[in-house]
Structure 1
Amino acid sequence: MRVLRAEKNMSQADLADAIGVSRKTISTIEVGRFVPSTVIALKIAREFDVPFEDVFTLSEDTS
């Protein structure tokens, strides 16, 4: 997500405003401390105009 933001020259605050969440929410998603809800994840993918899977994937150790 950080790379996608950089490509669009967006700050965390810009992305947060665009999808209706706090900047802290974006920060915690990016560092892996928070797993976004489906709605937030889909809004992020839509904001970047990419498939959901280009932004979020399951790690190998996820059961």
Structure 2
Amino acid sequence: MVTAYQSANGLVNLFNPTFAVVMGGLAIGRVSFDRWLRFVMPLVIGLAIILMLLLSLGAMTS
């Protein structure tokens, strides 16, 4: 359960507009949030699929 929570938390923080590190980095780099979303969404979807597979495998083997 803890692994699932931590994985989801890290995944959501990649595109959460209230996460200060992401928004601060985007402001410093002068990258718009829309452009960041277009860049990060394929990564988020790929990571979500990998996380689901690994969490499923962990649940089946324990």
Q: Same fold (TM over 0.5)?
A: no
Structure-1-length-normalised TM-score: 0.30
Bigger-Rg structure (1/2): 2
Answer 1 or 2: which has greater helix percent.
2
- Greater relative CO (CA pairs within 8 A, separation 6+): 2
Please report the TM-score for the alignment, with normalisation by the length of structure 2. 0.31
